[in-house]
Amino acid sequence: MINQERIIADFMELVQINSPTKNERQLADLLTTRLTQLGCTVTEDSAGEKIGGNAGNLIADLSGAMPKAPVLMLGAHMDCVSPCENVRPQRKDGRITSSGDTILGADDKAGIAAILEALKLVEEQQIPHGDIQIVFSIAEEGGLHGAKHIDRSLLKADFGYELDSSGRPGEIITKAPGQNQMKITIHGKAAHAGIAPETGINAITVASKAIAQLRQGRIDEETTANIGVIHGGIATNIVPDLVEVICEARSRNPKKLQAQTEHMCELFKQTAAENGATADIDIERKYDPYVLPEEANTVKLAYQAAKAAKLAPRFEATGGGSDANFFNLYGIETAVIGIGMQKCHTLEEFIEEEDLCNTANWVVEIIKAAAASPKQPLE
């Protein structure tokens, strides 16, 4: 049923279009043309301007002839992590890889290719469907900026799926964490390191003492924390008076997220105070967690559609955020689904050709199942 060579050719073309985060213009233009050819009305919002990018989110509406069916959202992101320019995809033994000097970009162009193939099949085979809203977002990598700044007045979907998980097709993510990012600035006191070190307060030493005591890494089954960035110091002959530490905490449980965040902030504050320094702390809530019950209609529909597509459906929890965190916050119940991109964010990233086809097939079954489901209640 899936046109295998067509979806592979499409995918190979998509990954060769440069689309680093905040530089999605070329891809956005191509996708606008493609979606318009497929009968969608495409709107580009102004999120790009707000975040310093050169393209906005694409929101494409495909009307169906079934007013009683719910509006289905299908989402994927257009940007890729670096190094993602001049990708030269290779096909070998049913697998697509990069040439080893870039990522492949299956994250998330495999999702885009699957959505486009599914829309082509729906059109060619005149599959009855309700209204469908396609959301191709910008700047997902590094902070979900596109989804955060999306023009919410354009969103009409009742529920949806974000095609953006590394699991093989059939995987349905029902739980994802929320994240806080903390920027900690430790102010010590500068001094000449050779002449008067005793008059200084070494901000690097203070930060180190705090970090050495910090609970980080895997905290428990649903909570993680990480010190990711540290900057400080100018020269060996100066006692450094300033260090900046950037760290994060994630949990699928809001109380644990709060507790871990407090632990980290308090530890820096206390350690600074004990050593005559001060710590300024800036906490940014990056996104909220979400948990979809297995009985939620969105989850059940994906499960049944996976079975219809002859995939093995299964539920998973993730430690990563995605645009779905924001769509759930906006009241559009959204599950992330596995599209088979493997080893993402590395030069070894690859995808099995079979998984590209299976995802497209799954999306077709999701479109059919959505058309057959009642508009309310999609609790």
Which residues lie near Zn ion (CB under 5 A)? 107-108, 164
CA pair distance 376, 379, nearest whole angstrom: 8
In the complex with Zn ion, the residue whose CB is nearer, 359 or 373, is: 359
The secondary structure of 1-58, three-state, reads CCCHHHHHHHHHHHHCCCCECCCCHHHHHHHHHHHHHCCCEEEECCHHHHHCCCCCCE
Strands 238-239 and 90-92: unpaired
Beta carbon nearer to Zn ion, 147 or 207:
147
Helix (H, G, I), strand (E, B) or coil at 67: coil
Which residue in the list 24, 45, 140, 365 is annotated as catalytic? 140
State whether residue 147 is helix, strand or coil.
helix
Minimum distance between the CB of residue 146 and Zn ion, rounded to whole angstroms? 11
Distance (Å, whole) CA 125 – CA 28: 27
Task: Let me know if 79 is a catalytic residue.
Answer: yes
State the minimum distance, in angstroms, from the CB of residue 162 to Zn ion: 9
C-beta of 81 vs 246, nearer to Zn ion: 81
Q: How far is the CB of 342 from Zn ion (least distance, A)?
A: 13
Identify which of residues 113 and 191 has a Cβ nearer to Zn ion in the complex.
113
Residue number, 140 or 352, with CB nearest to Zn ion: 140
The burial of 81, by beta-carbon neighbours within 10 Å (0-12 exposed, 13-18 middle, 19 or more buried), is given as middle
Catalytic residue among 10, 45, 79, 107: 79
Q: Residues with Cβ < 8 Å from 139, sequence gap 6 or more?
A: 21, 22, 24, 47, 51, 53, 77, 79, 145, 146
Least distance to Zn ion, CB of residue 144, Å: 10
Q: Which run of H or E residues covers position 187?
A: strand 178-187
Q: How far is the CB of 142 from Zn ion (least distance, A)?
A: 11
Known catalytic residue: 61? no
Active site members: 79, 140
